[in-house]
Amino acid sequence: MQLTSLSLTQFKNYKHKEFHFFEDVVCFVGKNGSGKTNVLDAIHYLSTSKSFIQTVDKNNIHFGENFFLIQGTFEDNKEKNDILCVVKIGQKKIIKKNKAAFEKLSDFVGQFPSVIISPYDRDLISEGSEIRRKWMDSIISQCDRNYLDNLIRYNKILDQRNALLKQFYENGYFDKESLALWDNQLIQFGESIYQERKKFIEEFVEVFHPIYSYISSGEDKIELSYKSQLDDKSFSELLIEHKKKDTLSQHSTVGIHKDDLHFLIHEHPIKKYGSQGQQKSFLISLRLAQYEWLSAHLQKKPILLLDDIFDKLDSTRVNKLLLFVSQHQYGQIFITDTEKDRVNTLLNGLSFRFNIYDTEEELIPIVHEER
C-alpha cells in the first residue's frame, strides 16, 4: 500500500500544499517549526481519522480560518482510493472514501493502516495506564471490527453506569434493579474485551521479544505483560464486591477500563529502572512489533512514519532500525529530520529509493537516489 498524493488546505501552518510521492522512502528536512511533522500528522489523519499530536481537531485549523481539508490517494494492488478528511468548526468531522462519506468513523478504522515512531512515544512509558490501553485498543481495533464495536458499547455503558451512581449518591437512594441492567451489559462486553486483549498480548509478545533482542543486541531481560482485575476474579464478582465503594465514589472502580500493560526490564519497571537507551530500544521495538502484527493480520503493509527520531537516537539504534526495516521489506516510509546530509548518509547505504523534500525550500524535492 502506498500514498501517492497528498493535498493540505488550511491545515496547521499550510495554507495550501500538494505533494506527489513515487518512492519507497520520502524524507522531509528542515528546521524545527518548519512544518515537517505536520505533513506526517496529515498522513496520520488519512490513515486513522486522528492526529497523533493534537487531540482537539479544531486546533489543527490554520490560524484565522474555520476549517481544514486533507486529501490523499492510496494505491494498493493497482486499486486507487481517494480519501478526504475535513474538519470545520462547529460541525462533525467528515471522512470520505471515493466521495462516499462514512456514517461512522469507526467504519474507516483499519482500511489504510499506519504506524508512527515519534518522540511522543515516551508517553507510553512515562504516563498512566490510559495511554497504554488506548495504544493496545487502537491496534486490535484495526483488525477486529467486533472488538471496536464492543469497546464503544462498553464505554457508553460505563458512562451510563457512572451517571446512575452519581444520581444515587446525590438523591440518597439506591435502586438495585436499575444498576443490574447496566452491570449485565458491562459484564457482557467487558469480558469479551478482556479475552481479546489477552489473546492479542500473547501473540504480540512473540513478535516483540525478537525485535527487542535485535535492537538491544540481546543484552537485556525484558517483559511485556497484560494486567487486569479480571485475572483473579470474574467481572460479576468484582462488581458485587465493589458496589458500596462505587456508590460512595460515584464511579465504577473495577472493570477492563482499569487494565494496564506492564513494561519490565530485569523484573523491574522500565520507567524507573531502565536507562534512556533501554527505554528507547523498548519503544522502537513496540512500534516495529505493532507494524509486524498489523501487517500479518491485515495482509497489507502499513505506512511507516518516522518523526524526528534520528536526532533523538544514538547512531547504533538508528542504524539497526533502518537495517531492520530494509531487510524486512517494509512498505512506504515517511521520515522527518533537521539535517539533509544526515538523511543522505543514513539512507544511501540501504536498498531504498528515496526523495528528500526541504520544508524551507517550498517542499520541492531536492535529492533523488536509486540503488
Q: Does the predicted model carry a pTM greater than 0.75?
A: yes
Q: Output 327 or 261, whichever has higher pLDDT.
A: 261
Q: Return the sign of the alpha-carbon dihedral for residues 277, 279, 285, 290.
A: negative
Strand partners, 72: 6, 83
pLDDT, one tens digit per residue, over 80-105 is: 999 999 999 999 999 999 999 999 88
Q: Output 154 or 342, whichever has higher pLDDT.
A: 154
pLDDT, one tens digit per residue, over 209-230 is: 999 999 988 778 999 999 999 9
pLDDT, one tens digit per residue, over 278-290 is: 999 999 999 999 9
Q: Which amino acid is at 296?
A: A
Could you give the CA distance from residue 277 to residue 288 in angstroms, rounded to a whole number?
16
Helix axes 276-298, 315-327, angle to 10 degrees: 10
Q: How confident is the model at residue 362 (pLDDT cuts 50, 70, 90)?
A: low
Cα torsion 57, 62, 68, 72 to 10°: value is: -100
Q: Return the sign of the alpha-carbon dihedral for residues 15, 21, 23, 25.
A: positive
The answer to whether the beta carbons of residues 347 and 39 sit under 8 Å apart is no
Q: How confident is the model at residue 6 (pLDDT cuts 50, 70, 90)?
A: very high
What percentage of the chain has pLDDT greater than the value 90?
73
Q: Which amino acid is at 368?
A: H
C-alpha cell at 14: 499550510
The answer to whether the beta carbons of residues 95 and 108 sit under 8 Å apart is yes
The answer to whether the beta carbons of residues 154 and 190 sit under 8 Å apart is yes
Q: Tell the residue number behind the cell numbers 525478537, with chain if given.
A: 210
Q: Quick one: pLDDT at residue 353? A: 81
H/E element, 92: none
pLDDT, one tens digit per residue, over 139-183 is: 999 999 999 999 999 999 999 999 999 998 888 888 889 999 999
Domains and CATH numbers, the chain: 1-113+300-371 (3.40.50.300), 125-299 (1.20.1050.90)
Q: Quick one: pLDDT at residue 315? A: 84
Could you give the CA distance from residue 158 to residue 137 in angstroms, rounded to a whole number?
17
312 pLDDT more than 80: no
The answer to whether the beta carbons of residues 298 and 113 sit under 8 Å apart is yes
Q: Return the sign of the alpha-carbon dihedral for residues 261, 263, 267, 270.
A: negative
Could you give the CA distance from residue 150 to residue 134 in angstroms, rounded to a whole number?
14
Could you give the CA distance from residue 224 to residue 209 in angstroms, rounded to a whole number?
9
